[in-house]
């Protein structure tokens, strides 16, 4: 059996190979992949907020300034796109998902799934459990710099250990639900569980 922890930090050539899921190749580039236009923000303080609703005691909204005041974490992770490129050791900084929950009204006990809502009506559905991972976050820096527009500026979700399509760029809202509901790529035929180690690329 593989050891996820050991694999993550193994930088030997063989070790790096072990970190590449089946059917993936490693790229040093950072490909840009999404449906639709890249949103442009001129006055991000006024134009961006994060709305939170659904299975929560009270719907809420965080302004950009409030969001930037939250404690941050830095995480280095490997990312795997279903179109078969993987990029190792990408470093991100942002607000841990679990941390964000501490600064909001309580979730209702029924909350079990999350719909990430992004600009232009993009959605991704994620079991709440995936987002309770220590490395799951709302990222706003990549390699020490603010995200570039094409990679999700100002804020994107990062869902570790899943194909990268669940990591919604240009995040604007989180909707908590008691039941699952397919997101944009999931409706298009991508596998709902999206585990790259099990090659869960497409639905049956």
Ligand X SMILES: Nc1nc2c(c(=O)[nH]1)N[C@H]1C(S)=C(S)[C@@H](COP(=O)(O)O)O[C@H]1N2
* Smallest distance from ligand X to CB 200, Å: 14
Residue 153, contacted partner among Mo ion, ligand X, none, CB below 5-8 A by kind:
none
Task: Between 4 and 33, name the residue whose CB sits nearer to ligand X.
Answer: 33
CA dist list (Å): 153 to 26, 101, 191: 24, 22, 26
Is 77 an interacting residue with respect to Mo ion (CB under 5 A)? no
What string marks each residue from 132 to 161 as x (binds ligand X by CB under 6 A) or -? -------------------xx---------
Give how many residues touch ligand X by CB under 6 A.
18
Its sign, for the CA torsion 154, 69, 62, 112, is: positive
Task: Between 32 and 44, name the residue whose CB sits nearer to Mo ion.
Answer: 32
Look up tokens 């527009």; give the residue.
149
- Which of 48, 130, 165, 176 is in the footprint of ligand X by CB under 6 A? 165
Is 172 an interacting residue with respect to ligand X (CB under 6 A)? no
Look up tokens 């979700």; give the residue.
157
Is 81 an interacting residue with respect to Mo ion (CB under 5 A)? yes
| Tokens at 92, concatenated | 């991100």
Binding residues for ligand X restricted to 14-53, rule: CB under 6 A? 30-35
Contact 168/157 with Cβ under 8 angstroms? yes
184 CA to centre of own chain: 14
Give every CB contact of residue 13 below 8 A, 6+ residues apart in sequence.
none
Residues in contact with Mo ion by the rule CB under 5 A: 33, 81-82, 165
């Amino acid at each position: 059996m593989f050891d996820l922890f050991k694999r993550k930090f193994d930088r030997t050539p063989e070790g790096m190979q072990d970190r590449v899921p089946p059917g993936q190749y490693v790229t040093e580039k950072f490909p840009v992949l999404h449906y639709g236009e890249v949103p442009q923000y001129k006055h991000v303080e006024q134009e961006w907020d994060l709305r939170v609703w659904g299975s929560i005691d009270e719907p809420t909204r965080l302004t950009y300034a409030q969001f930037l005041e939250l404690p941050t974490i830095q995480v280095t992770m490997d990312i795997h796109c279903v179109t078969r490129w993987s990029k190792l050791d990408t470093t991100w900084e942002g607000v841990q998902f679990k941390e964000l929950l501490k600064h909001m009204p309580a979730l209702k006990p029924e909350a079990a799934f999350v719909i990430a809502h992004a600009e232009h009506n993009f959605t991704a559905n994620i079991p709440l459990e995936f987002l309770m991972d220590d490395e799951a976050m709302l990222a706003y820096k990549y390699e020490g710099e603010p995200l570039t527009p094409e990679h999700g500026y100002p804020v994107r979700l990062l869902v570790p250990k899943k194909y990268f399509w669940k990591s919604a760029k240009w995040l604007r809202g989180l909707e908590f639900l008691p039941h699952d509901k397919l997101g944009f790529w999931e409706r298009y035929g991508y596998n709902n569980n999206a585990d790259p180690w099990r090659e869960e690329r497409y639905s049956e």
